Amino acid sequence: MDVYLPIFLLIFIALLIIFGALILSYLIRPSNPSLIKQTAYECGELPVGTAWANFNVRFYVVALVFIIFDVESALMFPVVAVYKRFLQLGSGGAVLLSLLVFIGVLIQGVIYCWRKGDLDWIKSYRTSSDVRAKGLK
């Protein structure tokens, strides 16, 4: 169990550093807040509206695709870790095959997304074929 001890100690030390520095700085720093000082920086102008606006759906897609790859790699990590041992035992072929099938299925997904233009970052709200026809891409 003491294998995990350093992790928790490091987290503890990180908190120690953070709160130590914050408390130290609280004791010695000046504090004279003013209304103007506490506005968000918007190039010297008064901020217009809030920054918490609707965001582009592309970010969401990136996160979705990322999670899928993440789960995939989480599934592959144990298999990959034992691959060498299976090779030494002489039955690496089966593991290689299953790994190849696994990756092969996922590569199809990547190819699909690529072909359909889902991997392009800037996508006009016109269709991708429309954009391609006008050469706007």
Partner 1 sequence: MNMFLMIIFTLSAFLAVGGALSVAFAKNLIHACVYLLFSLIGVAGLYLTLGAEFVAATQLVVYVGGVVVLLLFAIMLTGGSNLHHVTSRFGLESTPLMGNLRTYIMGIVTALLLIAVLCNVLQGSISASAVVESKFSSTVEQIGVKLVTDHILAFEISSVLLLGALVGAAIIARPYRSSETEN
Partner 2 sequence: MNETIVSYLGETLGYSFNWAGTLAIFFIASLVLASIMALIGGLGTYAERKISADIQMRYGPNRVGPYGILQFLADGVKMLLKEDCIPRDSDRFIFKLSPMLCLVGVLASLAVLPTSSGFILANLNVGIFYLLGATSVVGVGIFLGGYSSNSKWAMLGGMRGAAQIISYEVPVTLTILSIVLIAGGLSMNTLVGGQGAFPNDWYIFHNPFSFIGFFVYFIGSLAETNRAPFDIPEAESELVSGYHTEFSGMRFAFFALSEYIEVFVLCAIAAALFLGGYNIPFGLQEHGLLGQLLQLAVFFTKSFFLYYVVIWIRWTLPRMRVDHLMILCWKYLTPIALLNLVGTAVWMYCFDGKSFYMILKQLFVASGQ
- Measured CA to CA, the distance from residue 30 to residue 99 in angstroms comes to 60
Contact residues toward partner 1 (CB under 8 A) are 1-5, 8, 50, 52-55, 57-61, 63-68, 70-75, 77-82, 85-86, 94-95, 98, 101-103, 105-106, 108-110, 112-113, 116, 118, 123, 125-127, 130
Task: Give the 3-state secondary structure of residue 33.
Answer: coil
- Measured CA to CA, the distance from residue 102 to residue 118 in angstroms comes to 22
Task: Tell me whether residue 41 or residue 77 sits nearer to partner 1 (CB atom).
Answer: 77
Using CB distances below 5 to 8 A depending on partner kind, what does residue 100 bind out of partner 2, partner 1, none?
partner 2
Using CB distances below 5 to 8 A depending on partner kind, what does residue 135 bind out of partner 2, partner 1, none?
none
Using CB distances below 5 to 8 A depending on partner kind, what does residue 116 bind out of partner 1, partner 2, none?
partner 1
CB of 119 to partner 2, least distance (A): 4
In this structure, is the dihedral angle defined by the CA atoms of residues 9, 10, 13 and 15, taken in order, positive or negative? negative
**Six token digits for residue 116:** 């359909």
CB of 43 to partner 1, least distance (A): 22
Using CB distances below 5 to 8 A depending on partner kind, what does residue 133 bind out of partner 1, partner 2, none?
none
DSSP tally for the chain: helices H, then strands E: 4, 0
Q: List, as one string, the DSSP characters of 64-110.
A: HHHHHHHHHHHHHHHHHHHHHHHHHHT-HHHHHHHHHHHHHHHHHHH
CB of 14 to partner 1, least distance (A): 14
